[in-house]
Structure 1
Amino acid sequence: MAMDPDAEIDHGAPLTPYRQLAEIIRARIARGDWAPGRAIASETSLVQEYGLARSTVRRAIAVLTESGELFTVPQRGTYVAQPDASGNG
């Protein structure tokens, strides 16, 4: 599901807020807001920007980390992964 990178979280939508946020982050990466190898906004910033609980933001980041789109460096932040050579990521 492609989502507008400027979308807001719709708490009444059938898609859960963490999935909505994951799709927004994915769209913002695709738009070039965050380049491969660069940090995305901090959890605190995402909590404030989207009005979500920290646990919801963490769950969205976990979805993208599990799919290989993001990676986390302890005490440093969450970064955009390099696309793989096969073009799948």
Structure 2
Amino acid sequence: MEFGPDDQVERDAPEAPYEQLAGILRARLERGDWKPRRPIPSEARLCDEYGLSRPTVRRAVAELVSAGLVFTVPQRGTYVCASRAEDERQGDT
């Protein structure tokens, strides 16, 4: 199922809450809500914003990490991966 960047997690939907959140965050990344190499909101903030538990948010973020969309830095947070085009430009400098 496709999720939009402004969707909310629906408790009675057939998809698990972490799948819904991962889809929503993916849509927000595609829309450009967060710039490459900049942090996404903290787990605590995502918990508050979407009304989910920390393990659910962690599982959603893990899905994005597995997809290569974000990366985590211990004690710092989760950051948006640089786009391939941006990586190629940086390699030219």
Tell me if both proteins adopt one fold, taking TM over 0.5 as the criterion.
yes
Instruction: Report SS of the residue matched to 1:18.
Output: helix
Instruction: Report SS of the residue matched to 1:35.
Output: coil
Larger Rg: 2
- The two structures have a TM-score, normalised by structure 2, of 0.87
> CA offsets per residue over residues 9-60 of structure 1, 9 Å max, x none?
0011111100000001001111111111110000000000000000000000
Shift of 1:65: 0.3
Matching of residue 38 in structure 1 with residue 38 in structure 2 = yes
Q: Distance in 2 between matches of 1:32 and 1:68?
A: 16
- Which runs of structure 1 show a deviation greater than 3 angstroms over 4 or more consecutive aligned residues? none
Matching of residue 66 in structure 1 with residue 51 in structure 2 = no
* RMSD, aligned α-carbons: 1.0
Unaligned runs of 5+ in 1: none
Q: Distance in 2 between matches of 1:37 and 1:82?
A: 6
Instruction: Report SS of the residue matched to 2:84.
Output: coil
Shift of 1:84: 3.1
Q: Distance in 2 between matches of 1:22 and 1:35?
A: 18
Aligned length: 85
Q: Report percent identity of matched pairs.
A: 56
**1:44 partner letter:** A
Q: Which residue of 1 aligns with 2:84?
A: 84
